[in-house]
Structure formats: C-alpha cells, structure tokens
Structure 1
Amino acid sequence: MSVERPLWRALTGYRAITTVYAVALLVLAWGDYTDGGRPAVAAGYVAVLVGWTALTIRRTLGADRCTPAFLAGDLTIAVAGILLSPIADPADAVTPTLPSIWVAGSVLAFAVKAGWRWAALTSAVIGAANLATAGFGRATVHNVLLVWLASIAIGYVVEVARASERTLARALRIEAATRERERLARDIHDGVLQVLTMVRRRADRADPAAAELGRLAGEQEQALRRLIHGGPPPGEEPLPAPRAAPEAAPGPPHPEGAGEADLRALLARRASDRVTFSAPAGRVPLPAGAARELDAAVGAALDNVRHHAAGPDGAGGRAWILLEDEPGEVVVTVRDDGPGIAPGRLAAAEAEGRMGVSLSIRGRLRELGGTATWESVAGQGTEVELKVPKR
C-alpha cells in the first residue's frame, strides 16, 4: 500500500470537515454580518465554497485525480475567500476569514501532489493574502508561519516517502531476478550439468568419436558453470526464463491433496543398497512445495556423496539419511563415510562455479526459511543437517 494513499484520504476528510466548519462560523457570526456588514457577500462565498468542495470531493482521493487545473482552482477559491472577508465584514467584527482553516487544505494538496517547493510557494501566496487583508499583526504572522512550515514539512516527508518506495520497488525487482536466476541455476545443476559430467567421465577415450563427445561435454559443462556463477559473457543474452517453475523431484501420489505431502514417503524413495533411511513410524506432513524442495536438497547431498565420497577402489560412498519430526521444524541429516571435506573446499568450489552446495542445497533451504550446515572431519565423512520450519 502506497504511503500517499492515507494522506490523500486524510486530505479529503479535512476538506469536508473544514467546509462544515466554515458554514458553522457563518451561521454563528450572521448577526455581525447583518450589523453593518454585507451578509450577501459572505453567504454567496460560503455557498460557492460548499459547492466547489462537494463537486471536487473525489479529486483528492488520489494523485492521478488531483490535476494542476484542480489545484489552481482550489487555490483561487482560497485566496478569493481571504480577499472577500474584509468586504463582507468592513467593521472587522468577525475574526476568522470566510474560508477560515479550509485554505490549509489547498496548501496541503500542493504538498502531497508536488512536494515541499510547491507547498512553500502556495503557502506564501496564502500568507500574502492574509497579510494584505489583516495587516502584520502578531496572530496573523503566527498563523502564516505555522501554515508555511507545516506545508513544507509535509511536502518534504512525501518526497522522502516516494523516494523510499522507488528504492524498495527496485530492491524487490532485483531480489526477484536473483531468486529466478538461482532457481534456474539449481535446475541446470540438478539436470544438465549432471548429465554433462556423466558423459565427460564415461567417454571411451579409446574411441575417437566418444573422446570428442566427452571433450565437448566437458567444455559445455565449464561454460554452464561460468554462466551460473558469473552471468553471461559480454554481448551474450542471458538464459530465458521458463513459463512456469518446474517441480523438483515430484513425489508419489498422496491422499492429502496438493497442499500437503508426506516427507517420509518422499525420502523413503532415496533408500538403496548404499543409502540407509531412518524415520519416525508415522507420517511427517509438510507443505507440498517445501517437501519437494527439501527432497531435492537431500538428492543433491546424495549426489555429492556418490561423486566425492567413494574411493578409487569403489569402497566407501555409503550414506545414511535420518528424518526427525520436531515440534516446530523438520530436521534431515545426511551422513556419509567418505574422506570428508577439506577446510575451505566449499568456498573454493563455489568460486569455481560448482554450485551444488550453494544453490542446490543452501539456496533451497534459504528460500524455505531453513538452514543447512556441514560438519566434516578428515577421514571420518561428512554430515549435512537440513532444518526446515513446518510453517
């Protein structure tokens, strides 16, 4: 909601209330106008004021309706009322002017619409009209300065609020673009990069055609990693965004519908002869989208185990998944028996464009409002703990 909208509504209410106040002042001072004054001038002006306010009451409901022509007309009505006051009351028996505090509404309209500079100019015009009719008395000068300072302050606050809204909108656009880029990078890492890596590693070096295919796959893999990590090279277009976000590792059908999924059933599919899965006996419900993303993060962690935990002789590479259903969160621990992660290796991998940890795991958990932590001891394997709040 724009910060200006409440100001416009308040200004609309102010104009309506001060119009009623001007009518009440005329009724209360009617005897002073008839005793040596010109009641027809006073009544005629107040009638015009009421009609103008009623006809333009919707003009101050938003900046798009508050046109320059309306602002000029509003200021003209205010100045005319001030200048007609001594004509309607030559004996100066009535203290306030005919429009009274209604004139502040026209100044505030300039402040909200155009900022503090126009507010200062408009309040100076109103002040000059008051000084021309009432003289340089203490009360008159006090009221003029009060309106001038208040209008400038409100105009300045409105300008600052508009600048803050523009900055916030720009930050939200950048955040949305960053999230979309991270999502695309996760999809590329979990799909295309895995296939290219497999082709590169399994290419038959004895076969020239297969060797060439492996070399090309390796080049494309490195190019994609650079693209994910640092953006497109100069002169190239970024990857286009898909029409819809693909689902990560869709789970099996579940009776609870599309709004909720059983995380236990999703993770149970990860069990194999080299992956042991342990979980509570009952269901572990989680919002369907969060459950799929958490399952995909576990899949990325298992991919790391398969690629990095197994030794040259094929030994090792076993993994254990532990699912815990806590009162306010779900905790999934993935542990392996590999050689562990050397200090600084995760940061180095991210710098090289290998985004399995930073995007496929940590990025997913961050978007779910959760956390991902790693504990690794040389020669004793690695443990990844994934925590996701239930709501």
Structure 2
Amino acid sequence: MGIEGPFWRAIAVFRVASLAYAALLVLRAGGYDRPAVAWAVVGVMAVWTVVMLVPPPAARRAPLLAADLVVTAACLLASPYAQSRDDMLAGAIPITATWAAGPVLAYGVARGRRAGAVAAAVMSAADLWLRSGNGVDLASIPVNGAVLMFMAGVVVGHVARLAREAEERMRRAARIEAAGRERERLARGIHDSVLQVLALVQRRGAEIGGEAAELGRLAGEQEAALRALVQVPSGAAEAEADLRELLRPYGTSRVTVSAPATPLPLPAESAREVAAAVGAALDNVARHCPEGTRAWILAEEDGGAVVVTVRDDGPGIPEGRLEQAAREGRMGVARSIRGRVADLGGTVAITSSRTGTEIELSVPVSADEARADEKSGRRS
C-alpha cells in the first residue's frame, strides 16, 4: 500500500461512519415521507460502501473513481423521492448526509488537490440543484457544507501529494545508502586484488624498462582512475560529488583534462556514471586509434546541465561502424556511453570526421530537471 494506505483506510472508516449516521437520520425521521425509498437508498449506499473498501491499487483507477462520483451523486439526487417537499423546505439534510463527501476525499488522495476540488464542485452542484429544484430559496441555501467539502478535497489532496513526495525521498535515500554500502564492499575487494596487481605491474615495469615500462605507465594510469571511481565518500558527501575530481585522474601525457575553477556538482551516482562513460570513450581511443593519438576532455556547466566533451585527433569513426558493432554484439558505445547517459536523463552527440571524433555528454544537474526533460520529450 505504501504511504497512501493510511489515507484509504481513513476514507473507508469515514464512509462506514457516515453510512451509520445517514441510517440513524432516516431512523429518527421515521423513514421520512416514503420509508421504502429512503431505506432502499441507504441499502445502495451500504453496498457501494462495501465496494469501495477495495485496496488502493484498485481504488486509484479512474473508472472506479468516476463510478464512485456517479453513484454518490445519484443517491444524493434520490432524496426528493423519499423526503417530502416540506422536509426540504424545512432544511432537512439529504439522505446521504456526510456520506456524499466520500468521492471528494477519494479523488483528493488518488489524483491530488485539483481533482479533489473538481469532485467537490460536482457534489456541491448536485446539492444546489437538488435544493433549488424543490423550491428552496437560493439565498437561504446554506453553503457551509460546500465550503467544507472544497476544503476537504483540496487539503486532503495536498497532504497526500506531500506524503507521496516524502515517501519517494525516503526510498531514494535508502537506495543511496544501499548503493554506498555495496560500493564500499566492492571497493574493498578491488583494493585487495585489482589495485594491488596494477601497482605491482607499474613497479615491475619501471624496473624492467623498455616496453615493460610503457605497460607499467599504463597500469599506473588505470590504477589512479580506478581508485577515483571506487573511492567512497563519507556521510552526506555521498549525496553529491564534484565531477572534476572524478575526471582529473584521466589526465595523462596524452589526455588533457580541462574543467572550470568552480565545482561541477552532480548527484554522486550520476557523477560516477558520467566519469565511467568518459572512461569508456577514452578506452575506445586507446583501442581503435593509432599509438600517440591525443585526447582532450572538457567539462563545463551549461544551462542547468553538465556537459562533458571528449575529443581526439584520431582518424575518426568509419561511416556505419557503430551500427555494425551493435549488430555484432559489441555494445561499447551503445551501453557504456549512450546507455549510461540515457539512464541519467541526458543526451549523447557523436561527431566524427577524418580529423578526429568528438563525443558530447550532457546530463541534467538534478533529478527533477531530468524528469522534466523526459516529460517534455527532450530525453534521447
């Protein structure tokens, strides 16, 4: 049920209590002018109250909410068939009494304060039409019930929305905490194995010299990059990271990293994914370009997004090569770069020519902006 469960249980209790109150009013009034009709309406109300005791997933569905509004309005408008005109002129409460507020509360919880206000307007209009059609002077019709119904729909809808947002924040915090614990566990394992091997290769390569020295240098670069990726910030720092700190380890004699003097903050997980995508782009340069090919990394903030550009002076990507690689099952660019950035709500633009390749990664600074981009159709 989630955090909405208590709201729906409260509405169920309200419906049952209101049904009992309506039945008590009919009993005290002796069934009004036509007892058979009055008790028939109460019976319909009782049956519908049982129907609306369904769990939240079903109660939120639009057809059931619409049926709730129609049935409740019909029961309200059936009052003149049980009550006499004198009862109506004397200000008798309709048979439904407070039970009529049930769909207003349900719409507020399920669809928010605006939907709750619309449902309140429908029920208030039905009550106004009922009274005016029975000769009640419009000026003398009490509006307290309509005002309270509007307030109930708006307030309950607003509180329900705030509760859902709070639940989502709690879930996100729990995911971040779990990811931090898993990352720390992996970091321990990597430190005890991969990093030690890379450090050994770097040291022995420097001792042997020659081609082994070059392998040692490359191992040292990968060790530095891997240490930066598995580094686990402590405390609140896990919620946000400076992308510059994750990109700087990629800088070597053949890779130039340029970043602004001010931090480039991103959610910690987003920053690590962007850094991993940059690493995948550099791996492609090392694997597919001639030895000695230079690369440049430029990171900057642009209009609510962090943009990272990876450019090289290699021979470029042959036309159709990326599509061919995807067909052959080699998904380096599709998954390691495009997939990572797409999961963050960002975009990837690849431009290639005979003078080099440029890969531009653009990622929204916040998760809210990513969701807004997705809703407006700008996510790719």
Class of the TM-score when normalised by the shorter of the 2 chains: 0.5 to 0.7
Flag the 1:137–1:87 CA change in 2: closer, same or farther, 3 A: farther
Once residues 214 and 279 of structure 2 are traced to their aligned partners in structure 1, the CA distance between those partners, rounded to angstroms, is 28
Flag the 1:69–1:213 CA change in 2: closer, same or farther, 3 A: closer
How far did residue 11 of structure 1 move?
0.9
Once residues 113 and 212 of structure 1 are traced to their aligned partners in structure 2, the CA distance between those partners, rounded to angstroms, is 63
* 1:174 equivalent in structure 2: 176
Match of 2:42 among 40, 46, 57: 46
How far did residue 85 of structure 1 move?
1.7
- TM-score normalized by the length of structure 2: 0.54
Letter in 2 for 1:106: P
DSSP 3-state at the match of 2:280: coil
Flag the 1:78–1:226 CA change in 2: closer, same or farther, 3 A: closer
* 1:108 equivalent in structure 2: 105
Flag the 1:137–1:221 CA change in 2: closer, same or farther, 3 A: same
Flag the 1:201–1:21 CA change in 2: closer, same or farther, 3 A: same
Once residues 164 and 9 of structure 2 are traced to their aligned partners in structure 1, the CA distance between those partners, rounded to angstroms, is 17
Match of 1:96 among 93, 113, 116: 93
Give the paired residue count: 231
> Is the counterpart of residue 147 in structure 1 residue 180 in structure 2?
no
> Is the counterpart of residue 79 in structure 1 residue 95 in structure 2?
no
Whether the aligned pair in 2 keeps the contact of 1:81 and 1:97 (CA below 8 Å) is: no
216-225 vs 149-158, which deviates more? 216-225
Q: Deviations over 1:94-152 (max 9, x none)?
A: 72111111111121111111111111011111111222223545662111111111211
Q: Deviations over 1:234-276 (max 9, x none)?
A: 2629xxxxxxxxxxxxxxxxxxxxxxxxxxxxxxxxxxxxxxx
- In the TM superposition, 1:149-228 aligns within 5 A as 149-202=151-204, 205=207, 208=210, 211=213, 214-228=216-230
- TM-score normalized by the length of structure 1: 0.53
Once residues 9 and 139 of structure 2 are traced to their aligned partners in structure 1, the CA distance between those partners, rounded to angstroms, is 34
DSSP 3-state at the match of 1:159: helix
How far did residue 4 of structure 1 move?
0.9
Letter in 1 for 2:24: A
Q: Which has the higher helix share?
A: 2
* 1:8 equivalent in structure 2: 8
* 2:114 equivalent in structure 1: 117
Whether the aligned pair in 2 keeps the contact of 1:111 and 1:154 (CA below 8 Å) is: yes
Flag the 1:202–1:121 CA change in 2: closer, same or farther, 3 A: same
Letter in 1 for 2:222: Q
192-201 vs 7-16, which deviates more? 192-201
The unaligned stretches of length 5 or more in structure 2 are 232-245, 247-274, 282-380
Whether the aligned pair in 1 keeps the contact of 2:52 and 2:59 (CA below 8 Å) is: no
Match of 1:232 among 276, 296, 301: 276
Whether the aligned pair in 1 keeps the contact of 2:205 and 2:213 (CA below 8 Å) is: yes
Whether the aligned pair in 2 keeps the contact of 1:12 and 1:58 (CA below 8 Å) is: yes
How far did residue 216 of structure 1 move?
4.6
Letter in 2 for 1:181: R
Letter in 2 for 1:80: A
The unaligned stretches of length 5 or more in structure 1 are 238-391
Flag the 1:212–1:66 CA change in 2: closer, same or farther, 3 A: closer
* 1:18 equivalent in structure 2: 18
Whether the aligned pair in 1 keeps the contact of 2:104 and 2:152 (CA below 8 Å) is: no
How far did residue 178 of structure 1 move?
3.6
Letter in 1 for 2:93: P
Query: Which structure: larger Rg?
Result: 1
* 1:277 equivalent in structure 2: none
How far did residue 28 of structure 1 move?
1.2
Q: Deviations over 1:167-213 (max 9, x none)?
A: 33233333433433333233222332223324433557356576555
* 2:321 equivalent in structure 1: none
Question: Over the residues paired in the alignment, what is the CA RMSD in angstroms?
Answer: 2.8
Identity of aligned residues (%): 43
Flag the 1:107–1:164 CA change in 2: closer, same or farther, 3 A: same
Once residues 68 and 207 of structure 1 are traced to their aligned partners in structure 2, the CA distance between those partners, rounded to angstroms, is 73
147-156 vs 216-225, which deviates more? 216-225
- In the TM superposition, 1:327-342 aligns within 5 A as none
